[in-house]
Structure 1
């Protein structure tokens, strides 16, 4: 069995599965924009293995059979399971997010079952919305999030994907996007979402450092007793301080300065 995975095309598919797994991990950690940025590379891996497969020569029939099934599983994970996890996370377990996630998983499974038996409509169009459009749609939604009402964004996103879940199994001709357009959009959107996540993280660190520096004198003067369970270490104040670690306690600050 492992020898079939040594095929170069299957290696690309497995790399896409790795990106999907990492995206799921980051999504469950709460960094949804970064998770979408990673999942875009899983979608690109899916398109790349198709390009390489069309140009490959002398590929063994066993590797091709394994690759066909492997591609279907990879497509389901990044195209249905990942968006469903994002909806559940951003909806905080609401009934609407549960229904939208269920609709995505069921419609994705039905669509892939249909495609594996009857194939695509033609080279220029899909019959129904392809699963590979789900992650780019997520990326567009998160890129537009700053201009949308924050409190209603989860509801809008769930409703959007409820409609797209219906489109997955609809008898509607959907034009296939060019590979160059998909690649350009995915790389650009992934970079934009990653940059925004890192910028937000840097702003959070600066705010935490400012809070620690402003409260350092007060924390030193009102140092908790040794038996206080929230006090983790001694407060060390030095002119050569380079970093700050902050941990919020229930009744006191835990401020530790590293030289």
Structure 2
């Protein structure tokens, strides 16, 4: 076999860390990790900030990837898989821990969070397999909307008893999970520059709201 015909070696695993969209994805994973940590110790305002910034970085990685020139097919494939794996943490595991945390990790809520995790995994697998529909829309509610909605819902936690609000979160989680795997068609919000600006404003608003609430305690 000649040198010309020899297969090129695969790039080193860690070489993909240098890719800017992947850096954004990993930053989002870091935000989700912080959110999970703060949920476990009961610092909900800090957790909500972590959850919404995870969405922000998730949207940013796709936006940057579409603007970059010279990315190979392998770069796109690796980035897509990395994004998918991080999504199950950010939009599946983190909301599940949010529900469990408000429920004081009661085993009664385990079936609820199991359903949300199963539906989330199925939703992501379906999108990974089939992508957008023929009219460039998602089939089912995109799973990043779960965090966007939940951080808003938690703003009203102070108006309810903790046990009551845990049930409200569980119901919200189940409703969102049902929408994730439904046949409804929803637009790809992250692909629209106007929606990116709206998310940026929303993220800053959420950060200010919860940051202020932390200062009051």
Measured against the shorter chain, the TM-score band is 0.7 to 0.9
**Structure ranking higher on relative contact order (CA contacts 8 Å, 6+ apart):** 2
**Aligned-residue CA RMSD (Å):** 1.7
Distance of 1:105 and 1:42 partners within structure 2: 18
Q: How many residues were matched structurally?
A: 200
- Whether the 8 Å contact between 2:102 and 2:162 is mirrored in structure 1 is no
Distance of 2:39 and 2:167 partners within structure 1: 18
Are 2:206 and 1:189 aligned? yes
Map 1:164-203 → 2, pairs under 5 A = 164-177=176-189, 178-200=195-217
- How high is the TM-score relative to the length of structure 1? 0.72
Larger radius of gyration: 1
- Gaps (5+ residues) in structure 2? 1-12, 190-194
SS at match of 1:174: strand
SS at match of 1:93: coil
- In structure 2, the residue matched to 1:32 is 44
Distance of 2:155 and 2:135 partners within structure 1: 30
- Whether the 8 Å contact between 1:87 and 1:154 is mirrored in structure 2 is yes
SS at match of 1:144: helix
- Whether the 8 Å contact between 1:96 and 1:158 is mirrored in structure 2 is no
Higher strand share: 1
- In structure 1, the residue matched to 2:133 is 121
- The Cα of 1:150 is off from its aligned counterpart by 4.5
- Whether the 8 Å contact between 1:103 and 1:162 is mirrored in structure 2 is yes
Distance of 1:126 and 1:38 partners within structure 2: 25
Higher helix share: 2
Of the candidates 87, 94, 97, which is equivalent to residue 109 of structure 2? 97
Q: Cα deviations across residues 36-70 of structure 1 (Å, max 9, x unaligned)?
A: 11111111000000100111100133222211100
Q: From the superposition, tell whether residues 165 and 61 of structure 1 become closer, same or farther in structure 2 (CA, over 3 Å).
A: same
- How high is the TM-score relative to the length of structure 2? 0.86
- In structure 1, the residue matched to 2:24 is 12
Distance of 1:156 and 1:32 partners within structure 2: 16
- In structure 2, the residue matched to 1:111 is 123
- Gaps (5+ residues) in structure 1? 201-259
